[in-house]
Structure 1
Amino acid sequence: MSSFWKNKPLEKVIRHKIGYLYISKEILRPGKRLQIQEANDQFFVKNVSSAMVYAKIAFFGGLGINFFITLVSFSSEKNKFLINFFLWLSPFLLVSLIFLIIHYMAPVKEIVLDRLNGKISYPRLFGNKEHRTIKFDSLHVFETMTTSGDFAATGKKIRIRDRKYDYTWDLDSRYPEEYWSFMVWYMDKNRPLPPGDAFDPYRKNDFERRKAEGFPKPLYPSRFETPEATPAQQKERKKIGGW
């Protein structure tokens, strides 16, 4: 843990090309937990609520245990059935009910990227409905190691560190470097939108906006070219913006 706080925050640089984070229309699922809610030239919104997952595990796990205990109770002496039922069955029913209530009452958690205004919103801690909104430029994201039960390193993940309230929020542990590059690319409003056919209906409008602004230089550096959607648009950007 101590080494985590000594790390420097990740630079806002587009280092990795987009493959896994290709945003297709098929993966847009508004209203679904842990899915992308919105992806256009103004906002990128991902639901990061996980209460439903834990609620399902607890609820169905509890039901399974309840069923097993009930069978065992039936096989016991008849005069002990009610005692066994209430003694063993009730706690698991209570736990299942608690997790089910948590699922329905837990506030929605989302990561919201506001491309045009250069802001990001991310959740507070569990149970808090408030989302923190700050300038993307002031966002501090760190890369840390993931470990197994015996503390052996298993991979990497990236997490936000909120400096005002001193807490962290995990972003991604599968493709952390690419995820961060995607975030930086999307939040650079002077560049074309990242790859993904979900963005295709908005590319023309985004291009015209940047053209009206004179194709200003990118806000953040990139290790590779981020061309326009068509050669004609690329030529126009080069002529007007010089890049």
Structure 2
Amino acid sequence: MSPLAGRTAIVTGASRGIGRGIAERLARDGALVAVHYGSNEKAALETLEIIRERGGRAFAFRADLEEPDAVDTFYAALDAGLAELGQGPEFDILVNNAATSGSGRLHQLTSEVFDRLVAVNVKAPLFLVQGSLGRMRDGGRIVNISSAATKHAFPDSLTYAMTKGAIDTMTLALAKELGPRGITVNAVAPGYVATDMNARRRATPEACAALAALSVFNRIGTPADIADVVGFLVSDDARWITGQYVDATGGTSL
């Protein structure tokens, strides 16, 4: 039997990049995957197509996590998508992957960008977990996507690094609070992964080589590298792991 058969998983920001990789992996493991996206419907539908072509089950739903009513919109759209499949609102897995970047260095910061990053990267994940309390089954799994930027100085994107630091702190507190229900909460921290978010940093062969050299494996990560770590953490095999920051950077800066 597939390890996630009979389970329902939500992956935020699953239309592209790491989120798409995670959605594909969880679907391959047998979960019904709710593919959340913020604006790129075309990319979300491509994720669905990939999953369905491989025999998986998935549906897409939209919610802009920057909006003040983001959580209400998110769960209303999720419930509607589940209902169309004859499913109730209960689920088993929440992967908080959606994030935005672009804050820049200290002298480049603006209140507008700061507020946007905090809304999407911190406020939304926290209140999505709060909103899940009546929906997530006991023994569920929460995985928050963090970043290597919380363990290494990253002045190039100061606010982004700060928001991911908040995710690490949140993970610890939630793991303790939700433990009595058998719900595990962990953070996975990628290093450089080839996604649209960091495409400008990979604009030349020299830039790619420099990023690859940060890993002991001398390559840039792929979404599958991160997805496989998440796949383990949401499985029964990881039932005794909670409150952890899992370095998934390929040995960056060892």
Calculate the TM-score normalised by the size of structure 1.
0.27
Determine which structure has the larger helix proportion and give its number.
2
Ranked by relative contact order (alpha carbons within 8 Å, sequence separation 6 or more), the top structure is 1
Return the index of the structure with the highest Cα Rg: 1
Give the structure-2-normalised TM-score.
0.26
